[in-house]
Amino acid sequence: MTALISASGDITAADAEVLVVGVFSGEDAPVLPESLAGVDAAFGGRLAEQLAVLGNTGSASSLTRLPAPDALAAKLVYAVGLGDADDLDDETLRRAAGTAVRAAFGKDSAAIVFEGDPEATAVGAALAAYRFEGYKTDGNGDAAPAEVRVYGASDAAIAKATVLADSVALVKDWADTPANLLRPPTFAVEIEQAALDAGLEVEILNAEALSAGGYGGVLAVGGGSSAEPRLVRLSYRPEGATQHVALVGKGITFDSGGINIKPGAGMWDMKGDMAGAAAVVGATIAAAKLGLNVDVTCTVALAENMLSGSSFRPSDVITIRNGMTVEVLNTDAEGRLVLADAISRALEDEPDALYDVATLTGGQLIALGRRTMGLMGTDTETERLRRIGETTGEHGWPMPFPEDIVKLMESPIADVSQCATGLKRDGHMVQGGIFLSKFVPEELPWAHLDIAGPADSDSTYGYIAKGATGFPVRTLVAALEEFAA
């Protein structure tokens, strides 16, 4: 595991194998900030010229490797572009630090010297140091540097970056774990252990308790699997907190689609259909480790949606925890059913706000792509998360609930239809949000976060590696910080 360390002093004497310096974009050559005067002098005043010859003009996240001259303590210099100095923001710093740290895999240590907010640099470096170890018998390639020093970062900034990165790493580990190794009972135990280590209270409901408690959605979805479903609740109660936020997550450890079985192409990705549950657990653990002054209750519904003789069916009517009935039209729209149960239970604690997170719909990908989550709910909370996402780099966009789509969610035989009448695809993403809105009081500040795309990346960029991303742990933590203020 990479140790993040606060650093200060003469950067030419930086005790690291790799010295990472940030340069700004220029017309013909990168522009060196004044803080790099000593490093430039070590290159005979020609660092910008050498970088330009090698094609680096300082564009954001560009990277050039150079052997360090004798006047520097480091063996190598990595010059990373920060783009236009006037446009420098925290996400540029996070991505630049991430690019550098990933390039330093296989090296013992690195030291980063950037302009701008050192905390953002520290977060990007810490996030990029993650690697899913996997199951290769001969190892998984070069390891991240054992130490990364961030110049100008305070001890508090380093501590916070470490907590955030650790929580994101936990989410990534769970979301990348194969489904045969993380079925609902196993996932519940792993959540319990991580939560107890963070000082949280834990409650786990097994199938018998779910039946006694009237959790019809979780039981229906999990009924086709030999691995029984679970509902896990975590509680963080700091002394003196005046606000209470409920976090709810979809934890489908594998989604075959059930009777409405998915196509084989891409089904392997369904091991990550529990990323929403993992994210809210990670955010709750981070809140506890950071000591945020806000009560947090985290409720996650864990089930495996499989095809068998005991699977639920299209046309079934099920009863949710709060007593509402749902007409099932598509067993592959299972996430909203377990969320309805979890939301209903979370509301019994009378929170001041509620956020639910789920890899809910393919419609999110169609509407917003792989890097922008869909936000639905009350204006206050969708706007809060949109604004926070701009600062964390975990972008979201508020979506409407059009009247015509709301009308399509009416059922002739139950309180609400699970999907649009006739299985119409109109507004597929917002159908999920409209369904969930039926279980949330109109006066409660609420947001539904559809992370179907952003929960996983098909490529590597900045501090994001290919695979699970840990999205949107940092946004949720930032929102909890606002409630704690």
Which residue's entry shows tokens 């005790």?
Answer: 15
CB 200 within 8 A of CB 284: yes
Residue 72's closest CA among 129, 21, 141? 21
Using alpha carbons, list the distances in angstroms from residue 373 to 103, 287, 364, 475.
Answer: 28, 22, 7, 11
Kind and range of the H or E run holding 149 = strand 147-151
Examine the residue annotation and report whether 474 is marked as an active-site residue of this protein: no
Q: Which of 262, 370, 371, 387 is catalytic?
A: 262
Q: How far apart are CA 321 and CA 325, in angstroms?
A: 9
Residue 130 per-residue DSSP state: -
Q: Which of 107, 149, 271, 336 is catalytic?
A: 336
CB 356 within 8 A of CB 448: yes
How long is the chain?
485
Which residue's entry shows tokens 């996650």?
Answer: 300
- The structure tokens listed for 454 are 């952003």
Q: How far apart are CA 196 and CA 288, in angstroms?
A: 11
Examine the residue annotation and report whether 262 is marked as an active-site residue of this protein: yes
End-to-end Cα, the chain, rounded Å: 32
CB 404 within 8 A of CB 382: no
Residue 248's closest CA among 293, 271, 279? 279
In sequence order, what DSSP letters do the residues of 241-269 get, joined into one string?
---EEEEEEEEEEEE--TTSPPPSTTGGG
Residue 426 per-residue DSSP state: T
Q: How far apart are CA 49 and CA 67, in angstroms?
A: 15
- The structure tokens listed for 277 are 């549950």
**Which residues are catalytic, by number?**
262, 336
